[in-house]
Structure formats: structure tokens, C-alpha cells
Amino acid sequence: MDLPVDEWKSYLLQKWASLPKSIQVTISTAETLSDIFLHSSSLLQPEDELFLRRLSKSYLVGKDSDAPFFYREQGNKKFQEKDYTAAAVLYSKGVSHSRPNTEDMSLCYANRSAALFHLGQYETCLKDITRAQTHGYPERLQPKIMLRKAECLVALGRLQEASQTIGDLERNFTPTPTPADVPPQTLQRNLHHLKMKVQEKENLTETFPATLAKTLEDVALRGENEQLSSASSSVSLCIDPLKGRYLVATKDILPGELLVKEDAFVSVLNPGELPPPHHGLDSQWDTRVTNGDLYCHRCLKHTLATVPCDGCSYAKYCSQECLQQAWELYHRTECPLGGLLLTLGVFCHIALRLTLVVGFEDVRKIVKKLCVKISNKDICLPESNNQVRTLNWGRGETEKNGSRVGTPIPGCDANGKYGRNYNAVFNLLPHTENHRPEHKFLCAVCASVLCRQLEAASSQAIPTGVNSSQLTAAVTPELCPDVTIWGVAMLRHMLQLQCNAQAITTIQHTGCKGSIVTDSRQVRLATGIFPVISLLNHSCSPNTSVSFTSTVATIRASQRIGKGQEILHCYGPHKSRMGVTERQQKLRSQYFFDCTCPACQTEAHRMTAGPRWKAFCCNSCRAPMQGDGVLRCGNRSCAESVVSRDDLVSRLQDLQQQVGVAQKLLRDGELERAVQLLSGCQRDAESFLWAEHAMVGEIADGLAQACAALGDWQKSATHLQKSLRVVEVRHGPSSVEMGHELFKLAQIFFNGFAVPEALSTIQKAEEVLSLHCGPWDDEIQELQKMKSCLLDLPPTLVRS
Ligand SMILES: [Zn+2]
Ligand SMILES: [Zn+2]
Ligand SMILES: [Zn+2]
Ligand SMILES: [Zn+2]
């Protein structure tokens, strides 16, 4: 997903392998990124581009005029099955293939408005009705959507507008001519019915509470940081020769305190895991749902009512505003390159978007400025091994300027402030010397392909972020000779992203059919670049926690951080998810460093024991098993014979598979069968897994969900408490995982009317979750609703 698709990757690696040794050496030993770029770029042949073009064509990114009808039919099927969410998504796919101002487009919008109406999304429904009307909704069908509009307005309490709509409808449609799809009697009856509703509501003297606007405004940062934008005054930016740049606490920080709140400099929605559909008669159009169908491609807001780009079928937005902004900033260049960008991967896409958003002029200025400053060795040189040199650059800069007020920290502006700007992004380390030569070649060729596309496209439209008011500006004459600068900048960004890309995640709530208790899972939504967050160093057991709202990341202290302590963030390999060997290997290969965090140091000492959540236990005495290839019971007096690790591992794999089957049954609502299977798994697990093994927790969690769906709250709570213990051992008592688990337990107690237990669990869940997320987090909001509901209960209902 981040890197190009496998076919293109292996094509280029083969090309690399077949290069004469001398050329390989030239590229491997090239001193600067521009040398790497120029050498690699000169090797790109027309047949390579042809191959790439063929690959790109397998993505259906254009508009297909036959698709809207197909998707509308598919949507109607789901609508009849009352699966309104699925129907809405299919209508959206229909919309994205329709041309503006066509009946196709208006019908897809109108049908989607019906699905949204049934989902209770009245505001969005109204928007779709307007969209249907502006794109030429047929006159004969008007009464249908006007009735729906009136219904929405009534539901929203906007009674005056509702009456007006009803009035319009009566004047224009009731006498003659007869509207085709709504027989006159039905229309009359519906109108009458609606008018009654309006009257009823008008008689209620109470005004309707305006729907609680969910502001994205979070608690503010504690004081503005003068040196570091997007950060609180509780932290400060430091630099040292060994560590590079890092953040420390300037005062004692309490758990839950907001430390950084930063909007992504650039982000690209991840297209999802789905491979492109193969050419063939069976899969003409794709009905699969990906993140690309559910989230705005610009602001990442979740929506069922996307608005598509006029030029392609893949870019979709939450609103006309997002569409317009995306178009002006980058999409007018990206639009015709959809298939190519999907083939080249997210890193390439971000690299391109960075240069588009910043604008060619500014990219050129920064590249030139930094390359000139360091005389013949440009900024694109390896730099991470020697942080001292990084420091010197800065000093040189200030000396040359003849003043000492300048800053020694790379990425800062003339006033010494580090912020969310291209200078800071450009200064993130690309670790050029650590990447394998064939990888650099691959990235350079991809950047070169993009450059050629841009050159070709520049004869029609030129992408600049700055003067983008006219949709088609002319080519600036100096663009062509300077295209190398563009390529070098993109190459630098692609190399930087391996260490600096930040996954933007969201929590998706899922639940088995019929269950009120929801489960949550973290999904990766997009990849972004955050220059301030990139300053944080890694720990496998960090003291902060990151969460996202739209494209804004917030970093909170997840524990007390003393004055002077470093603020640490986890790059992915967390001690609760991987053992020390796996973490170290991952950090070395992706981030090029050896982790010496306290977790790594202590774990390395007792490596043989391994974490408890992965441990096997003795079948007869339940003591932990010890050893490497051959395991024996840790209890010396136990007579149990030895077992091979491989046997236990394969038993665990079988169990995992069984649990997977049970989880599928659970999702399909086959509750009794799921319980039966899970109970069997539980017995099996207890015979060879440690009581706090992750698998034991997973099974208990499944049982808890099934029991909840069956209405047996007590049993459900017992199972969930078991799962809770496993989560606590693995992730720690105040981890976000623990918060999600407590949230589930609170839901179970709440639904089972166990008021004291529910209240105390709600309190605990709130405490843990607020360490990681802001007050507008869905789960925290839900907990507060549950609490006020319980506190309002009449005492007679309370079972104690
Ligand atoms: Zn948006
Ligand atoms: Zn487009
Ligand atoms: Zn570590
Ligand atoms: Zn034993």
C-alpha cells in the first residue's frame, strides 16, 4: 500500500539486477540525491513506462456511463433488504460514475436521500434532495422527493419550512397533471398526514432542542508554545548530537494532558487492502466497500453521502467545499493520474501531493537555498549518522548571515520557530545512506515517472499551489529545465516517509448482529506527514498516546511525565504487541536504529521467559513451560514429559483457526453455535495456554459478546472480566485497549441494569479513556450518556 504494487516493484528490482555492475556502483555510491535521481531517471525507457501504464489501467478510475444504472439496481436490492447503509454506499458509487447534470446523477442522489432518510440522517438527506434537484431531477418524480423533504423538515422541527414545502407541493402537483410515480390519492393522503404531523408538533409549546453540534474544538493546549507551533508550553524542542531533535517536558505533566495538537501537513487516504478487480466478465464493476467510499478524501470525515470529483470516479468528498479545496490545492493535477498513483503507492502519492500543495516555486526556493548553503554537498546528502553536521549547517547559516540570533535547529525559521511548514517537512531526515541502493533506484524511477507525467500535463495545466485561482494556468517557462528539482524533492520525500510517515487511524465500532454491545477496532485510514510529531523519539513503552479527529492528531501524556523527561511516542512496535526480538528487528529495518528503551533493556535480560500473554503452560500442573525448542514444565516436582515448541505452536494455530470460525458465526448472528464452539476452544486453551494468554482473552471476549447478544448479561460480564484481566496484563491498566474493554463491560452492566457495577465501571472507563482521547471521543460521550441515564432512573427500578 505504501510502496508500489508488487508487479511494478518486482519489475524494477529485476531491472536493477540486470543493470551492468558499473551503473549499479554509480548509483550506490552517488553522493547526492540529485545524482541518484539523474542516474536512475536516465535509465527509464519507454517500454518501462508502457508496462506501468498497462498496470495502471487495471484500476477503474474514470467515469463509466453504464455504471450508474448498475449501481442503482444493486443499491435498490439492498434498499429492499432494508440494508440502508449498504444501499447508500452503492448509490454513492453510482453518483461517482455519473456526469454532472444528468438524470443518472440526479436519480442516484435521490435514491441515496431515501436511504439516508431511513437511517435518520435528515440533514444529509436534505442535502441530497437539493443535489438531486440541481442535477436535473425529472419533473414527473418531483412530488416524491418533495414529500421526503417535508418529512425531513418535520423530523428536524423546522416546521415553517415544512409547511412551505407542503404548500408548494399542493400548488404545483395535486390537481393535474398526474405525477407518474405517486398516484394522486396517495399524494393527497401523504400530504394530509404530513400536515397533521406539522400541526401536532406546532401544538407542542416546547421548542425543539437544537441538535447538539459536535464541535471538534478540543480542550485547548496549555498555553501556546512560542518556539514550537501546534505544541503546548509544557514541552520544548531540544537537539543533541546523538539523539537529534527531541521534545522534553518543561514542567511536570499530568496524565491526560494535551501536549501536541497538529493538523497533517499533507495526508493521503489509504485506498484499502483490496486488489484491483481482474479484467473479466464476472467483475465489471466493483461492489466492494473500502475506506475510499466512506471517508472524505480531503478531510477524512466519515460520511455516507460523498460528493464525487467531476473528472474521475475515485476521488470523493464530504462536501462541495472539500471538493473545491482539494481541486485547487492538488487534485486538478492528480485527477488524470488516479490509476498511476494507485499503482505507485501511497508514499509516492504523498511525495507528489507535498510538492503540489507547496507549489513549485516554494519547493524550488527551499531546495535551492539549502543546496547552495552547503556548497557542493547538497542537503540531499546522508545526514542522520552525523547529527553534529546537522548542527553545523545551522551555525554556518547564522554566521553567513552575519548575525547570531539565528537558530541552530534544522527546520526552524529565521525567528527560531519550528512549525507546520515546508521548511520543517523538508528537513525531516531521509536517511539516504541507510536505504538499500535498489530501493533508492526504485523510488527515483517512480519520482521520474511522475515528473514526466507532470511535464506532459504541463502543456495543458500547471500545478501550482499558490496561484491556483484559475483552473488552467499557463506553464511557467522555467518549469521544464527545473523539473529535476521537482524530482529530487519527491525522491527525498519518498525516502523520508519510511521513517516519518504517520498512520492516521480511527476506531471503527462493530458488533455482532442483534447485540447492543459494540466492539471497537483500530483501522488505518490514511497516511500523513506531521512535522511536529515527527520530532518525537520512539519508545516501545511510550509515555504518550496519539488519537485523531479528521486530519488532526493529538498527543496526550498517558502517564505522569516529570520535568526534564523526554516525551516519547511509539512508532508501531509496542511492547504489548511484539516481543523484544521482533521489535528490535522491525525498528532496525524500518527506522535504522537499535532501540534501547527501558522495555527493551529489561526484556532482553529475561528473554527466555517471554511475555506472559504468549506463554504456554503445563497440562498437568499449570506451571509455565520453559525452554527453547523443547519445552519442559517449570515445576521441578512435576512429572509431565517434555513437548516440542513446534507442537504447541501448531496446536495454537489450530485453535486460532477455530476461534476465527466462531467469530464469523458471531458476526452472522449464529449465537448458539458460536457459544458452543467457543466453549470448546476455551477448554482446549486452558489445557496448554497460560491463563493470561492473548488467545484466552480473545475467546472470553467472543463468549462475552455472544452472551450479551443472547441477553444473558451476567454471564457476559463474567466472561468479559476474564478478557479484561488478559488485556490488563498485556497492555497495562491504563492503556487505551483497557479503556475499550472497560467501555464494553460498562455497556454490559448498563444493559443488565446492574447499576452500582455499571456506575463504577463507567467511572473507570472514563478515567482511562480520557488519558488517550479528548472529551468528544465517541466512547466517552456514550459513557456520559449512560451515566446520566442511570442517575435519572427512578429508585424502584434500580436493582442493587
Ligand atoms: Zn471533507
Ligand atoms: Zn478527479
Ligand atoms: Zn524498545
Ligand atoms: Zn507441570
Residue 275 pLDDT greater than 60, yes or no: no
435 has pLDDT over 60: yes
**From ligand 2's centre to the CA of 275, what distance in Å?**
20
pLDDT (tens digit per residue) in 315-340 = 999 999 999 999 999 999 899 999 99
Average pLDDT over residues 33-61: 91
Task: Band the pLDDT of 206: cuts 50, 70, 90.
Answer: very low
Range with lowest mean pLDDT among 639-643, 737-741, 770-774: 639-643
Residue 18's pLDDT band (cuts 50, 70, 90): very high
| Banded pLDDT at 678 (limits 50, 70, 90) | very high
Q: Say how far apart CA 674 and CA 660 lie, in whole Å.
A: 10
Say if residue 94's pLDDT is above 90: yes
Q: Is the pLDDT of residue 691 over 50?
A: yes
**pLDDT value at residue 445:** 95
Query: How many whole angstroms separate alpha carbon 520 and alpha carbon 156?
Result: 30
Who wins on pLDDT, 515 or 538?
538
CA of 130 to the centre of ligand 4 (A): 71
* Gap from CA of 507 to ligand 4 centroid (Å): 41
pLDDT at position 638: 81
Cα-to-centroid distance, 679 and ligand 4 (Å): 24
Give dist(CA 78, CA 770) in Å, integer. 39
In the predicted structure, residue 463 carries a pLDDT above the cut 80: no
Ligand 2 centroid – CA 276 distance (Å): 18
> What percentage of residues in the chain have a pLDDT greater than 70?
83
pLDDT, tens only, 159-184: 889 889 988 888 876 555 555 556 66
Amino acid type, 238: C
Predicted confidence band of residue 77 (pLDDT cuts 50, 70, 90): very high
Instruction: Give the best-scoring range by mean pLDDT among 213-227, 323-337, 377-391.
Output: 323-337
327 CA from centroid of ligand 1 (Å) = 12
Ligand 3 centre to CA of 541 (Å) is: 7
List pLDDT tens digits, range 118-158.
999 999 999 999 999 999 899 888 888 999 999 999 888 88
CA distance 750 to 758: 5
The number of the ligand nearest the C-alpha atom of 269 reads 1
Give residues with Cβ within 8 angstroms of 71, minimum separation 6.
Answer: 90, 91, 93, 94, 97, 108, 285, 287
Predicted local confidence at residue 798, as pLDDT: 55
Q: Identify the residue whose cell numbers are 498511476.
A: 340
DSSP 8-state assignment for residue 787: H
* pLDDT surpassing 60 at residue 404: no
Average pLDDT of the chain, as a whole number: 83
**How many angstroms does the Cα of residue 99 sit away from the middle of ligand 2?**
12
Place of cell 498496470: 55
pLDDT, tens digit, for every residue of 755-781? Answer: 899 999 999 999 999 888 878 788 898
User: How far apart, in Å, are the Cα atoms of 796 and each of 184, 211, 754, 755, 791?
Assistant: 52, 31, 13, 12, 12
Query: How far is the centre of ligand 2, averaged over its atoms, from the C-alpha of 366 (Å)?
Result: 29
Ligand 4 mean position to 641 CA, how many Å?
9
pTM: 0.81
Cβ-count burial 74-88 (b if 16+ within 10 Å, e if not)? bbbebbeeeebebbb
CA 575 to chain centre: 22
Ligand nearest to the CA of 325: 1
Q: What is the pLDDT of residue 157?
A: 86
Top-confidence residue, 602 or 545 = 545
**How far apart are alpha carbons 13 and 205 in whole angstroms?**
74
Pick the most confident of 7-16, 201-210, 579-588, 662-671.
7-16
User: Which pLDDT value is given to residue 567?
Assistant: 95
- Residue of 133, 202, 113, 205 whose CA lies nearest to 162: 202
Give the Cα separation of 587 and 572 in Å (integer): 9
